[in-house]
Amino acid sequence: MTQEPMTLYKLIVLYMLDRVSFPLTRAQIEGFILEKEYTNYLTLQQAIGELCEIKLISTKTVHNRTQLMLTDEGRSTLTFFGSNIPEPIKEEINSYLKENSMELRNETAVTGQYFKTAGGSYQTLLAATERGETLIELKLSVPDEKTASAVCDRWQKKNEAIYAAIMKELF
């Protein structure tokens, strides 16, 4: 493998992270790049790994998802070398991010999980973040796993309305 394609894959990852105001998960980036058939899975993993090693991106694991964020060094690198990304690829990235921004944001910014407590009930942990800041965290005790799962699913769909209702009541 020559260095030029690998450099392009790295720049694509940096560009994607630069175009959003929230972290993207590894799976979200993989989904786009592999769907467009820019490269294969193993090469993409190598590119992401190298970007992490040289600190152009940082990672954070949240609820079993690896989130990728652009560092200041990564932003600087993109400023210098971003023009090496062909315009059609930039257009595809911009279009994809525009069409899917709410879904992508909710995948990383809104989380819901549950676990069984010592007493036999279930506890849900619901959270919403924006730009790395926690907007809201809720812990709810529920009687059974079915209810816990339903609460987490509804949180994913209705988190904005729930947050707005709580804020309205508090302010």
Residue 15 in tokens: 């560009």
Flag whether pLDDT at 46 surpasses 80: yes
Residues 101 and 128 in one domain: no
For the chain, how many structural domains are there in total?
Answer: 2
Residues 89 and 9 in one domain: yes
Q: What is the pTM of this model?
A: 0.70
Q: Report the pLDDT value the prediction gives residue 132, as an integer from 0 to 100.
A: 66
Residues 14 and 62 in one domain: yes
Average of per-residue pLDDT values in the chain:
90
pLDDT band at 23 (very low <50, low <70, confident <90, very high): confident
Query: What is the domain range of residue 163?
Result: 109-170
Flag whether pLDDT at 32 surpasses 90: yes
CATH number at residue 79: 1.10.10.10
Give mean pLDDT, residues 128-140. 84
Flag whether pLDDT at 50 surpasses 70: yes
Residues 126 and 96 in one domain: no
Q: Report the pLDDT value the prediction gives residue 103, as an integer from 0 to 100.
A: 81
Residues 82 and 130 in one domain: no
Q: Long-range contacts made by residues 39-43, C-beta under 8 angstroms, separation at least 24? A: 39/5, 39/9, 43/1, 43/5, 43/6, 43/9
Q: Report the pLDDT value the prediction gives residue 94, as an integer from 0 to 100.
A: 96
Residues 16 and 62 in one domain: yes
Residues 79 and 67 in one domain: yes
Residues 13 and 76 in one domain: yes
Q: Report the pLDDT value the prediction gives residue 108, as an integer from 0 to 100.
A: 72
Flag whether pLDDT at 2 surpasses 70: no
Q: Report the pLDDT value the prediction gives residue 128, as an integer from 0 to 100.
A: 86
Flag whether pLDDT at 70 surpasses 90: yes
Residue 35 in tokens: 């769907």
Sequence-separated (6 or more) residues with CB below 8 Å from residue 62: 108, 111
